[in-house]
């Protein structure tokens, strides 16, 4: 009885982990009367600063962190910023928001990350930064990207929105570039509903970000001055409390997701499903378990079939230059310029992955996939 009940429950692609202790932490702040960017945000910043061994600043969401990084670096009109052609659309939108031009680079289909061999040919005298993404929680070739960027005197802003807890040779992603950016949207490992963190060890830059997130206010000679036309990109204290509560079990969540990923690796047998590849020196945080369907398989039909079997699934990320805004503005021919990004966009399938899932449910998803593909 128990097992038939298990498989009759719909298995969503993702469900955030919210425990009673998280709820209690939020309620405590609500009762305090202090709601926005106060003690709890400070405490969370201290914990993340310790976690990364790099100064950390909390911001309203992941997109805002990237936006602030670009503004703090003075990137704007006339500048170019290199971004992968396959990511969540925010990675490129922020470049548009500051008036700069995103220059797209195709991805490597084994990692879904920016193809480092194709970066140098896209660097021009206008290039000011690269925003590499650690897509789905697997680190890109960040050391090589930093090497190229340093030689060409351009900044690296790591979009680690999906990659809290991912490492390369034991070193956390986000700590390689000038800035590391994280999101705490409910699709990520731990969540505050909306939330972001920006890490950076250059004091002038982080001070600038801290002013910019709060209307441009900062302390000058012990006096509060509005030194910039800033934003309101503050995090609330109840979100910070929720995140602190979740941070307590980050390691457990990452461990559980890795266990579940192993079940997919062991049990997905279909030759028409390409499984992710994780190099030995990288720790994947499994924000998404992203597979690639063989040519000829209609992904959207598979999504519908899975849904009828009680399983949520979706495409993984967008081929950004193929989206309406970017097509109308730049008319880039994606089949020719970004074949891998387009293929991942059309044939990519993200399947359920979150720490509240049981191994039995993962097995059920794997069996169902084997049966229908």
Closer residue to ligand PLP (CB): 288 or 291:
288
- What is the distance between the alpha carbons of residues 84 and 170, in angstroms, rounded to a whole number? 24
Q: Residues near 238 by Cβ (< 8 Å), separated by ≥ 6?
A: 26, 29, 30, 35, 40
* Residue 191 makes contact with ligand PLP by CB under 6 A: no
Q: Determine if 288 is a binding residue for ligand PLP (CB under 6 A).
A: no
Residue nearest ligand PLP (C-beta atom): 62
Nearest in space to 109 (alpha carbons), one of 269, 287, 279, 342: 342
Is residue 61 near ligand PLP by the rule CB under 6 A?
yes
- x-marked contacts with ligand PLP along 158-177 as a string, rule CB under 6 A: -x-xx---------------
Q: Least separation, in Å, of the C-beta of 63 and ligand PLP?
A: 3
Which region among 15-23, 60-68, 117-125, 241-249 touches ligand PLP (by CB under 6 A)? 60-68
Residues in CB range of 198: below 8 A, 6 or more apart: 56, 57, 59, 65, 68, 69, 179, 180, 181, 182, 206, 209
318 near ligand PLP, judged by CB under 6 A: no
Is residue 293 at the binding interface for ligand PLP, with CB under 6 A as the rule? Answer: no
Q: How far is the CB of 189 from ligand PLP (least distance, A)?
A: 11
Q: From residue 216, how far is each of 95, 220, 233, 331 by CA, in Å?
A: 20, 12, 11, 37
Q: How far is the CB of 224 from ligand PLP (least distance, A)?
A: 28
Structure tokens at 323: 């989206």
Number of residues that bind ligand PLP (CB under 6 A): 14
For ligand PLP, the closer CB: 40 or 159: 159
22 binds ligand PLP (CB under 6 A): no
CA angle 260, 265, 267 (to 5 degrees): 90
In the complex, least distance from residue 218 CB atom to ligand PLP, rounded to whole angstroms: 24
Would you tell me how many other CB atoms lie within 10 Å of the CB of residue 279?
Answer: 12
Q: Is the dihedral of CA 46, 47, 52, 56 positive or negative?
A: negative
Per-residue binding string, ligand PLP, 76-115, x by CB under 6 A, is: -----------xx-xx------------------------
Select from 359, 320, 361, 353 the least CA-distant residue to 162: 353
Contact with ligand PLP (CB under 6 A): which of 183, 236, 245, 340? 183
**Stretch 116-155 residues interacting with ligand PLP (CB under 6 A):** 133
Query: Per CB under 6 A, does 67 bind ligand PLP?
Result: no
Q: How far apart are CA 89 and CA 322, in angstroms?
A: 11
By CB under 6 A, residue 185 contacts ligand PLP: yes
Looking at the chain, the number of H-run helices and the number of E-run strands are 14, 17
Name the minimum Å distance from CB 355 to ligand PLP: 18
- Asked if 208 is part of the footprint of ligand PLP (rule: CB under 6 A), the reply reads no
- For residue 149, give the nearest of 53, 72, 76, 81 by alpha carbon: 81
Query: Is the CB of 159 or the CB of 237 nearer to ligand PLP?
Result: 159
CB of 36 to ligand PLP, least distance (A): 18
For the bound state, the minimum distance from the C-beta of residue 360 to ligand PLP, rounded and expressed in Å, comes to 28
Residues 6+ apart with CB under 8 A from 80: 100, 101, 102, 103, 124, 126, 127, 128
- Residues 259, 260, 263: CA angle, nearest 5 degrees: 95
- With binding defined as CB under 6 A, does residue 196 bind ligand PLP? yes
Beta-ladder partners of 214: 232
Give contact residues for ligand PLP (rule: CB under 6 A).
Answer: 61-63, 87-88, 90-91, 133, 159, 161-162, 183, 185, 196
């Amino acid at each position: 009885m128990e097992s038939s009940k298990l498989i009759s429950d719909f298995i969503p692609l993702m469900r955030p982990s919210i425990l009673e202790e998280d709820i209690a932490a939020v309620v405590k702040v609500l009762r305090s009367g202090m709601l926005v960017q106060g003690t709890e945000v400070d405490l969370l910043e201290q914990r993340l600063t310790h976690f990364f061994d790099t100064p950390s600043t909390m911001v309203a969401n992941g997109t805002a962190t990237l936006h602030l990084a670009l503004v703090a670096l003075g990137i704007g009109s006339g500048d170019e910023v290199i971004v992968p052609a396959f990511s969540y659309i925010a990675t490129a939108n922020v470049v548009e928001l500051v008036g700069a031009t995103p220059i797209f680079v195709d991805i490597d289909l084994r990692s879904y990350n920016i193809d480092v061999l194709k970066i140098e040919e896209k660097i021009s005298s206008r290039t000011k930064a690269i925003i590499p993404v650690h897509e789905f929680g697997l680190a890109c070739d960040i050391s090589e990207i930093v090497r190229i960027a340093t030689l060409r005197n351009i900044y690296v802003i790591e979009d680690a929105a999906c990659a809290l807890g991912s490492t390369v040779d034991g070193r956390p992603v986000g700590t390689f570039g000038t800035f590391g950016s994280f999101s705490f949207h409910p699709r990520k490992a731990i969540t505050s509903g909306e939330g972001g963190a920006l890490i950076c060890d250059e004091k002038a830059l982080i001070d600038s970000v801290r002013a910019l997130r709060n209307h441009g206010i900062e302390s000058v000679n012990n006096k509060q001055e509005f030194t910039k036309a800033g934003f309101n990109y503050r995090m609330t204290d109840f979100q910070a409390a929720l995140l602190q509560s979740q941070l307590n079990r980050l390691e457990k969540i990452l461990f559980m997701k890795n266990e579940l990923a192993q079940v997919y690796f062991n049990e997905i047998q279909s030759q028409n499903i390409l499984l992710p590849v994780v190099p030995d020196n990288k720790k994947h945080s499994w924000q998404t378990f992203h597979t690639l369907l063989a040519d000829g398989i209609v992904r959207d039909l598979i999504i519908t079939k899975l849904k009828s079997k009680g399983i949520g699934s979706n495409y993984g990320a967008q081929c950004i230059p193929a989206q309406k805004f970017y097509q109308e503005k730049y008319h880039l021919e994606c089949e020719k310029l970004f074949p891998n990004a387009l293929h991942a966009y059309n044939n990519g399938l993200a399947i359920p992955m979150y720490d509240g899932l049981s191994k039995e449910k993962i097995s059920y998803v794997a069996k169902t996939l084997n049966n229908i593909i």
